[in-house]
Amino acid sequence: MEPLLVLTNVPDAATAEKLARALVDARAAACVNVLAPCRSIYRWQGAVESAAEIPLLIKTTQAAYPLLEQIVRAEHPYALPELIAVPIQQGLPAYLGWLATETEQA
């Protein structure tokens, strides 16, 4: 089992809730933290942009990642959603075991 922390941002709370539930319902993620709104400043199509966004912290596994990516691509409103997966190198063994169990059917 290779646990991952996946990061993405969405434009509003309704989208965050919908995406988080879709990922957990499909067992593509064991848990999704919907964080407080933030301001993102980025370059897009040659211009510097600024937008309010809701960050999501998604806990999953390498095996479940393809399904997670498929759901994010289908449900995310951005043309190019941020989707970054970071390996979890250490963690409470019982928590990592739970994470693996909750994503087994993915």
Q: Where along the chain do its domains lie?
A: 3-102
- As averages over each run of 10 residues, the pLDDT of the chain (106 residues) reads 96 98 98 98 96 98 97 96 97 97 86
- Three-state secondary structure readout of the chain: CCEEEEEEEECCHHHHHHHHHHHHHCCCCCEEEECCCEEEEEEECCEEEEEEEEEEEEEEECCCHHHHHHHHHHHCCCCCCCCEEEECCCCCHHHHHHHHHHCCCC
Q: Return the pLDDT at 106.
A: 52
Q: Return the pLDDT at 1.
A: 77
Q: Return the pLDDT at 87.
A: 98
Classify 3-102 by CATH class. alpha beta
For the entire predicted model, the pTM comes to 0.94
